[in-house]
Amino acid sequence: MSNIRKSLSYLGKSTLPYYLWLFFSSLVSGLAPVLYVYMPKLILDELLGAKRPLILWQYVAVLALGALLLNLLRHFANMRFDAYSFQALYVLTEKLTEKATAIPYHESESKQTLDLKERATRSLGHLWLLKDVMMTSGSALVTLMTSAVLILSWKWWLLPLLLGLNLLTIPLLQRLRLLEVDNNERSMPETRAFVYFIEISRDFRYAKDLRLYNGVELMLTRAKASMDKILAVNHEYYTKSGALNGLTMVLVELQSMVVFLILGTALMIQSITVGNFVLIYNAARQFGQVLSVLFEQIRQIMTIDLELASFIKFMSLPEIEDFNAENDHEEIDPTVRQAIALARSGQVSLEVRQLSFAYPEQDALILDDLSLSIPSGETVALVGRNGAGKTTLVKLICRLYQPRSGQILLNGVDIAQIPLPEYYQLLSVTFQDFQLMPVLLSENLCGKLQSVQTEDDLEHIRQALRDTEMLSWAEEQKDGIHVPITRLLDEEGAIPSGGQEQKLAIARNICHNGALMILDEPTSALDPRNEEQVFGMMLRLTRGSSSMFVSHRLSSTRYADRIFVLDGGKLIQEGNHSQLMAEDGLYRTMYLAQASQYQDNQ
């Protein structure tokens, strides 16, 4: 049960009430069967003995009121335990989500990590199953102990006999557990595939492609193929488990038959009363049944423990160093602190020294001994063919990956030495594959809930929208700058066009107010004329500040102070537009090729 224990340890202060209500619920549920066993014995003895009406009514009243009280207490305890179980599920889901945001970016892209995260998420569903299993186990344990006491009160040797008969079921239950583990291992890959194909089929983001390219039938066919494999595996499992469960029930009934013969013989020779016959027989039958139930619940607990191993393994993945750390500014190295202070004042110089990088589990270098320098206040453009390493360099600057060798320095300090939360505050980055969140527009832009946004925040938001020519669009919406983005969470949400989304992403970039602004082809959905307007706007807004632009369209980047040309992960040219056009190099070739395309289209 180590994985269950470790999982519940993440609950913190909620762990104690979880166990307390589990104990109370189990105790009440376990005592109810004892009441139904013991009180009929007293009633039968009175009916066959003195037959005192008042005593009979008292026994009946105790049985009825006791049953009512125990049921009320059981219902209350179960509700409280359900509430804490739901809270436990919520807390662990929250912990898993926090973990997913804290693992290194390169790990989050790997198939192993994605598969592990999927298994970990699904394993938490077993936490709700654990609630029922633990409660059933607890009540069975209470009933088992009280039944054992009643049996011992008659003949001590009957208890070892019952234990011996029940031990015959252990190999069957062990075989059932192995079958379940095998079934889960064999069906899990196909289950994940089935869920994936179904989710793709009903995800509206894929709707156009699925309909236009016969994707619906393809996805559903693949889903059916996965389901057929799952059914084949489950058919084998349920056939074998049904037979084993049947044999287990036969052994339980065999135990009841043996007990009935023993007690019947005792009754015939008048060594036991009718009341005690009923009491011991019911106690023995309950003992056998709850012992089998307990064995079954132990098997379920072992299965759940095995499932939760995925959660524990995922939670044990290494995190980004200092991602969640609250760094004391006074404890930061003075040189690093000075570099941060300079950046916050708007002075940002960036230097890339002999940088080499290959993606995880790949040998080919994307960047190969790359060196370049961006002085403070300079606007640079990064250009090159597809695969030249432009976006990879941006990701390394953002510390989404670690270089294989070399350094990136900000104001003379290795960026790896700057606490990550502090460093991210210095960056304003927009990637080509940016994502707007399905929350309010104002919350998207400033990263704060509407309830805590100040007047300065609102003015900053409006100014960013004004700078990106999106303020009039925002004010036309029903709730203005507080309009929900997309209709994923709100039916009255705004649905901006592709070009509008990119302008909003740039507005978010401006709102973040980082000292170093980086735009990695965020205007790819705009036509050349609008893209040039946006770049012109950004050049105006960042004039005097450090900024980097990545674009395939060289007509937009020609206004940069300096242009870096990458090819094969190396810096092959550097200079302004005029200087590079005077050289017979890649930049001039690419620029003239694009210019000829525009001329041909006119």
HEC assignment per residue over 41-97: HHHHHHHHCCCCHHHHHHHHHHHHHHHHHHHHHHHHHHHHHHHHHHHHHHHHHHHHH
Q: Which segment of 144-158, 162-176, 266-280 scores lowest on mean pLDDT?
A: 162-176
For 418, other C-beta atoms within 10 Å of its C-beta total 25
Q: Where are the domains of the chain?
A: 1-154+308-317, 155-271, 334-433+516-527+544-601
| pLDDT of the residue at 525 | 60
pLDDT for the residue numbered 563: 94
The CA distance from 499 to 503, in Å, is 6
Query: Is the pLDDT reported for residue 321 higher than 70?
Result: no
DSSP 469-488: T-HHHHHHSTTGGGPBBSSS
pLDDT score for 524:
64
Q: Is the pLDDT of residue 601 over 70?
A: no
Residue 292 has pLDDT above 80, yes or no: no
Give 531-586 pLDDT, tens digit per residue: 677 777 777 777 778 889 888 778 778 888 899 999 999 999 999 999 999 999 99
Report the pLDDT averaged over residues 448-453: 91
Q: Which of 114, 602, 572 is nearest to 589 (CA)?
A: 572
Tally of CB atoms within 10 A around 338: 14
Tell me, what's the pLDDT at 325?
47
Residue 500 has, within 13 A of its CA and on its CB side, a CA count of 12
Residue 151 exposure: Cα atoms within 13 Å on the Cβ side: 25
Of 108-112, 272-276, 322-326, the one with minimum mean pLDDT is: 322-326
pLDDT of residue 205: 65
State mean pLDDT over 393-398: 93
The 10s digit of each residue's pLDDT in 5-36 is 888 888 877 778 888 888 888 888 877 777 88
Q: To the nearest 5 percent, what fractions of the chain are helix, strand and coil?
A: 65, 10, 25
pTM, rounded to two decimals: 0.67
pLDDT digits (tens, 9 = 90+) for 187-231: 777 777 787 777 777 666 677 777 777 777 888 888 888 888 888
Question: What are the tokens at 117?
Answer: 């995260």
Task: In whole angstroms, give the CA distance from residue 299 to residue 527.
Answer: 63
pLDDT-based confidence at residue 324 (cuts at 50, 70, 90): very low
Q: Which residue has the higher pLDDT, 249 or 381?
A: 381
Sequence letter at residue 61: A
Confidence of residue 522 (pLDDT cuts 50, 70, 90): low
pLDDT tens per residue across span 399-433 = 988 899 999 999 999 999 998 888 988 998 888 87
The region, left, alpha or beta by phi > 0 then psi within -120 to 50, assigned to residue 227 is alpha
Give CA–CA dist 579/563, Å, rounded: 10
Q: How confident is the model at residue 323 (pLDDT cuts 50, 70, 90)?
A: very low
Which pLDDT does position 270 carry in this prediction? 83
Bridge partners for 428 per DSSP = 517
CATH number for the domain running over 334-433+516-527+544-601: 3.40.50.300
Q: How many CA atoms lie within 13 A of 490 on its CB side?
A: 16
What is the per-residue pLDDT for 523? 66
Share the mean pLDDT of the chain: 84
pLDDT, one tens digit per residue, over 59-105 is 889 989 988 998 898 889 888 888 888 888 888 888 998 888 888 87
